[in-house]
Amino acid sequence: MVSKARWILFAALCLAVGLYPGSYLLSASNVGIRALKSRELLTSSVWNAAFYTHICLGGLALGLGWTQFVARLRLKFPRAHRLVGKVYVGAALLSGLAAVYLGFFAQGGAVAAAGFVSLGVVWLYTTASAYRLIRNRHIEGHRRMMTYSDAACFAAVTLRLWMPVLTHALGDFVSAYRVVAWLCWLPNLGVAFVISRRHSQARLLVPS
C-alpha cells in the first residue's frame, strides 16, 4: 500500500507540473519567472523560442517519463513502451538543449547559471546514453540511465517544492534560486543511484 501510494504521488506530481507550462501559454501577460526577466530578454525571439521549447517539451517529457517505470504497462504494452520512450527521448533532448541555453540567463548570477546549465548537461547525457544503450540492446544499462534521466527531469517538480521553503528560510527569491539551482537535482540523482543499486542487488538474488 505504501509503495502504491508513493507511485500515485509521484505520477500526480509529474502530471501536475507537466501541465504547468499551460499557465504561460494561456496567460495574456508575463507570469512566473518571465515576470523577473528584462525587457531585452522578453523581446528576444531566440530566448523566447528556447523558453517555450524547454517548458512545453519538458512538460511532455515529465508527463510521460514516469509511465516507463510501471512494469505492468511496460510488459503488457511493449510497443507503446517503445513509442513513448522515443517521444520522451526526443522531447528531453530538445528541452535539455534549450535548458542549457536558458541556464546562462538564470536569475542569481553565476552560481544559479552553473547549477541549471549542469542540470541540462546531465539530462542530455543520461537521456542520450539511455537511447544509445537500448539501441545496442544493453537493457540493464538502459534502465539505469533512464532512471537518472527521469531523476533529472523530475527536477522541475523538486524545484517547485523547494522554492517556497527556501524563499521563506533565506528571506528573498534570488538567494533561494541560487540554492535551488543545485538542490532541485543533485539529491534526485542520489535517489536514482540508490534505486539503481537496489535493483541491481535484487537481480543478483534472483536464481539463474
* Residue 203, pLDDT score: 66
* Residue 94, pLDDT score: 98
> 187, 158 in Cβ contact below 8 A?
yes
* Residue 41, pLDDT score: 93
Residue 16 cell numbers, joined: 501536475
Kindly give the parts of the chain with pLDDT less than 50: 208
Query: Tell me, what amino acid is at 171?
Result: G
Residues near 80 by beta carbon (within 8 Å), at least 6 away in sequence: 73
- Which residue stretches of the chain are H helix? 2-18, 22-26, 39-42, 45-65, 71-76, 78-103, 109-135, 139-153, 155-170, 173-183, 186-205
pTM: 0.92
* Residue 29, pLDDT score: 72
* Residue 140, pLDDT score: 93
- Sorted by where each begins, the domain ranges of the chain are 2-205
* Residue 208, pLDDT score: 46
